[in-house]
Amino acid sequence: MNVKNISIALTVLVIALLATLLMQKGSYVSQATEHYTKTTTNSYKGASKIIEYVNNSIDVNKGVWSLACETVQSVKTSQDQARLESKYFPSTKGSMSIANMTRRFEATGAYYIISKFSKVEVDKKTEVKSLAGLVSVNVNALVGNPGEEIEEAEEGEDGAEEAVEEAPAPKKAAKPAKAAKGKKGKKGKKR
């Protein structure tokens, strides 16, 4: 009788142990599924935001490049450029510097262009100053060199004076090149 009771007790104990293991296994699976869902959802949301930012950046870059190209092709005055800016970026307005004869359009901190004009015009009726005679469009920020524009602005008139001083230098360098040739005599020898 002892063996019979012990075998029944062991059988009940083994069944209880197996039931506990199966219930625990189900709990592990649900915990793992919950953790997987949580981490993949967070990763997906993060990746979606990054893709959204990249797409937005691409759209802004494309718009500023289109603005720069159309500015070079069709703009004559700062008012023409203001119309183009409102066409591509209705909510953003550019700023004009009469002193520097430039108009700066900044879609974002990283994407901007600077248009340089040759003269300031004053409207006789309204006495409003505007810029005319587009000289160049600075796209250094769009190609990854935003610091060059800042350096040019800091140089101001000093940079212009340096350019004038440097201009005669190539003419002086050309004279020694002529002297190096020398004159040739009848048989092609130098005198």
pLDDT of residue 164: 32
Q: CB–CB of 140/134 below 8 Å?
A: no
Q: What is the SS3 assignment for 143?
A: coil
Per-residue pLDDT in tens (0 to 9) along the chain, 191 residues: 688 888 888 899 999 888 887 777 767 778 888 889 999 998 999 999 999 999 999 999 999 999 999 999 999 998 999 999 999 999 888 899 999 999 999 988 888 999 999 999 888 888 888 899 999 999 988 888 766 554 454 444 444 433 333 333 334 344 444 444 555 555 555 55
pLDDT of residue 142: 85
Q: How far apart are CA 129 and CA 185, in angstroms?
A: 66
Task: Give me the residue label for tokens 């140089």.
Answer: 155
Q: CB–CB of 103/114 below 8 Å?
A: yes
DSSP-assigned letters across all residues of 160-176: HHHHHHHTTHHHHHHHH
pTM of the model: 0.57
Burial class (CB in 10 A: 0-12, 13-18, 19+), 147: exposed
How is the chain split into domains, by residue range?
1-160
